[in-house]
Structure 1
Amino acid sequence: MDNCTSHKELLLGLNLGHEYAFEQVFKLHFGEICYFVEKLTGSPFVAEDIVATIFLKLWEKKPEFESLQKLKAYLFIVSRNASLDYLRAKRLHDHLHKNIRYTNSTFENGIERKIVRSEAFYLIYAEIKNLPRQVREIIRLSFVDGLSVPEIVNKLGLAYQTVQNQKSKGIKLLRKAIIKDNLISPLCL
C-alpha cells in the first residue's frame, strides 16, 4: 500500500470513528503536538495534559476532516488556543495568589496593630483612673471626649491657665506611670 492510500484509509477510518484509526493519529501526532505545547507553556507535564485532553475531545466529538493536513492544522490550532487559555488562567491564578498573600499579610499586620493599640489604650485608661480627680477629669475631657481647652474651661468653669496646667500635669503623671510600670516603650511617648 502506498502512502497516499494509507493516509486516505486513515482519514476515512478516523471520520468513521474507528478506534484503530484514532490510535494511529494519536501515535502520529501526540509527540509533535506535545513538543509544541511544551514550548508555549514551559512544562512537559502541562503539555501532556493539554494534548491528552485535546485528543480526548477529538475522539468524543469525532469531527470530520477533508485531509490529514487539515487534521494536523486543527490539532495545532486547538493546542495553541488551549495553551493560551492555560497561560491566561495561570497568570490570573498567580495574580490572585499574590493578592491573597498581600491581603493576608496586610490584614494580619492591621489586626496586630489594632490589638497592640487596644492594649495600649486599656493600660492608659487604667492609669487615668489613678490620677487626682480634677486632673483625671481634664485628661478625660481632652483626650477621650476630644474637647479643646476653651471647651473644658466652659464646661468646668475653671480658669484657662488652670486647665492648661492640670492637663500638662496629667500628661506628665501618665508618662511617668507608664514608663515606671514599663507598660509601653518610652520611645512611643
Structure 2
Amino acid sequence: MNTEPLLYQNEDDLLLQLNSGDQNAFSQIFKQFYQPLCFFCNRLITDSATAEEIVQDILIKVWDKKEDFSSLSSIKAFLYISTRNASMNFIDKQQRQQRRERELLYSIDELEEPIIQDIIYTEVLNEIRTEINNLPEQCGKIIKMLYEEEMKPQEIAEELNIKVSTVYNQKMRGIAILKTRLAGATFEILMIYLVFNGKY
C-alpha cells in the first residue's frame, strides 16, 4: 500500500501548484498517468519501448503547457488525445512499406470507438492492479507471481518455501477479496481474463 505523504489537498490544489510551476505537482501527475498511458499507447502500436518514449514526450508537453490547463480532466484529455495522435503518426510512418497492415490506417473518426474502449479497458486494468497491490502481503505476492510473472504453483511453493496447497488457498483467498472490493463489471472482466487465459 502506498505510504507516501499526500502533498496536495485536492485536485484544485494540485492544478494550482502545477500552473505556478511546482515540479512536485508535475511529478505527481507524471506518476499518476505514466503507466496507464504506456499501456494505452502500447495497445495501439504494439511496441513497448517506443510507447514509453511517446508517453514521456507527451508528459513533458504538459510541463511546457502547465499554465494552459484549467482542470485535471483537461490534462487527462490532452494526454490521451496527444498519445493517440502520436501513436497514429508512428503507425502511419511504420506501415507505409507494409502492405499487409494497411488496414490499420483508418481515419480518426473510425478509430474513435476502439480508442474509447481501450481507455476504459486501461482504466479497468489499472483499478484491478491497484486492488491487487492492496491485498494482504503473502496473498498479493502469490497473485502477482501467478498472473503477472506466470509462475506455476509448484514454482511459487519452492520459491516461497511453502506448500503447494498454500499457494492454491492464497490464490482463492485473493480472488475472493478482489470480488468484494471490485465493482461487479470490473470483477467480471478479471474473471473473463483469467478463464480465457487458463489461469483460473
Structure 2 length-normalised TM: 0.43
State which structure, 1 or 2, has the greater radius of gyration over its C-alpha atoms: 1
Comparing both structures, which one devotes a greater share of its residues to helix? Answer: 1
Ranked by relative contact order (alpha carbons within 8 Å, sequence separation 6 or more), the top structure is 2
How high is the TM-score relative to the length of structure 1? Answer: 0.45
